[in-house]
């Protein structure tokens, strides 16, 4: 009698059909003297993060910074010019003076630097004028420069460079143990035999409501990809190192190790709400996830977006186009009368019985040395946060 074997994992096809890889490998022809002779473009933190996301395939099918036709199509239609779903313009801005210096190099290679170090190249195919006002209105739904994404948009250069990129080396950084490319995450999923994987995006420390969503999802799928964003965020967000400490502490004590994978997502935060939710989902498809959690005010900031706008925007696409299943969850909180975590779907009690703390209020309490209630976050996580803020 033979025992049945589990079917091999069938990971979702990357967006566009193939996982892009534009990372330099030994044997590629890069002459050091020739490289040093190329004009250079210094990358901001966000552009450097975009370079990695492009080159490792996280932003497949993009192979580089967007040209004008794709840029306008993304802004106006939520799609690349060939019809592929995409919602954020991934562009490389420079100022007018720098653009003038580079005009004679159209059709040639440009050296990319970050912090003065050579990090990659751009095959410069286009230069075109940014439409800041249009981009702000359509992508961020506001021209208010109090919005961090809009402020960053207007602070950057007014000319965009376009073309395929090459990254010299994946910058593993301070979270090297958890820093995996899309192909590496796919390899872990395959090795663990997960048929279905749910990804969760976060830029905040995990609290009990997040944990509730994860474990409800784990009743439906084989594995959880906990995928915190560790790229550039706004100044008052909890620092990435503190958040990672909190994630590791929580996972060690409260999550099934064989069914959970903690891996960092190196993108920069844009705070584009619904638009950003789409890219967060599509890129997780490229990492091998079959499902993606979208909760309350995903990728939002302030009151610029409706509570569930980031869920509603996915109705602009078919399930086949997205290639990843969206799990929509309502706002979750602790109810004192129910004595458990609930949502508006399951709790009959008035809001006065609900424990709800905003990220801003959590940071205020931590700075003041106040304790976080155990109904809001695990005591071990609260202690990690308290130590970080008190130091």
* Phi–psi pair at 292, nearest 5 degrees: -140, 130
Is beta strand 325-328 parallel, antiparallel or unpaired with respect to 291-294? parallel
Q: Using CB atoms within 10 A of its CB, is residue 271 exposed (0-12), middle (13-18) or buried (19+)?
A: buried
Structure tokens at 60: 């497949």
Residues in the chain: 391
Tokens of 323: 């290639």
The one catalytic residue among 22, 180, 203, 378: 203
**Both tokens assigned to 8:** 């091999």
Is 203 tagged catalytic?
yes
Query: Is 204 a known active-site residue?
Result: yes
**CA 111 – CA 95 distance, rounded (Å):** 17
State the Cα angle at 214 between 376 and 178, rounded to 5°. 100
Locate 106 and state its tokens: 């159209």
Computed on alpha carbons and rounded to an integer, the radius of gyration of the chain in Å comes to 22
Choose among 78, 103, 102, 100: nearest CA to 89.
78
Which residues sit opposite 262 in a β-bridge? Answer: 226
Active-site hit among 131, 204, 296, 363: 204
Report which of 320, 337, 250 is spatially closest to residue 285, judged by C-alpha positions. 320
Nearest residue to 162 (alpha-carbon basis) of 243, 238, 223, 80: 80
- φ/ψ region of 83 (left if φ > 0, alpha if ψ in -120 to 50, else beta) reads left
Which residues are catalytic, by number? 203-204
């Amino acid at each position: 009698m033979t025992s049945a074997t589990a079917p091999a994992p069938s990971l979702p096809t990357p967006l566009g059909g193939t996982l892009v890889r534009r990372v330099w490998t030994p044997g590629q022809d890069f002459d050091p003297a020739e490289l040093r002779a190329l004009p250079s473009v210094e990358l901001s933190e966000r552009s450097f993060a975009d370079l990695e996301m492009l080159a490792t395939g996280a932003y497949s099918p993009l192979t580089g910074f967007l040209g004008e036709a794709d840029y306008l199509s993304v802004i106006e239609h939520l799609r690349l010019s060939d019809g592929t779903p995409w919602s954020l313009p991934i562009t490389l801005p420079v100022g007018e003076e720098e653009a003038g210096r580079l005009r004679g190099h159209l059709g040639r290679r440009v050296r990319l630097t970050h912090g003065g170090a050579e990090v990659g190249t751009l095959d410069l195919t286009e230069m075109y004028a940014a439409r800041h006002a249009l981009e702000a209105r359509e992508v961020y739904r506001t021209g208010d420069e109090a919005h961090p994404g809009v402020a960053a948009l207007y602070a950057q250069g007014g000319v965009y460079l376009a073309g395929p990129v090459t990254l010299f080396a994946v910058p593993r950084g301070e979270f090297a143990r958890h820093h995996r490319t899309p192909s590496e995450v796919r390899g872990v999923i395959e090795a663990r035999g997960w048929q279905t994987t749910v990804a969760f995006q976060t830029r905040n420390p995990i609290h009990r409501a997040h944990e509730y969503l994860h474990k409800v999802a784990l009743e439906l799928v084989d594995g959880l990809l906990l995928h915190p964003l560790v790229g550039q965020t706004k100044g008052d967000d909890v620092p990435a190192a503190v958040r990672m400490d909190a994630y590791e502490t929580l996972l060690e004590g409260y999550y099934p190790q064989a069914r959970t994978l903690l891996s960092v997502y190196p993108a920069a935060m844009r705070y584009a709400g619904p638009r950003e939710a789409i890219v967060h989902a599509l890129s997780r498809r490229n990492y091998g996830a079959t499902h993606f959690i979208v909760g309350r005010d995903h990728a939002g900031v302030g009151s610029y977006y409706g509570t569930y706008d980031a869920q509603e925007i996915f109705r602009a696409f078919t399930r086949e186009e997205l290639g990843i299943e969206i799990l929509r969850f309502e706002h979750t909180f602790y109810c004192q009368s129910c004595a458990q975590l609930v949502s508006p779907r399951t709790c009959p009690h008035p809001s006065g019985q609900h424990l709800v703390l905003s990220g801003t209020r959590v940071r205020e309490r931590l700075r003041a040395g106040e304790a976080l209630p155990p109904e809001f976050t695990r005591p071990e996580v609260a202690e990690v946060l308290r130590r970080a803020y008190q130091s």
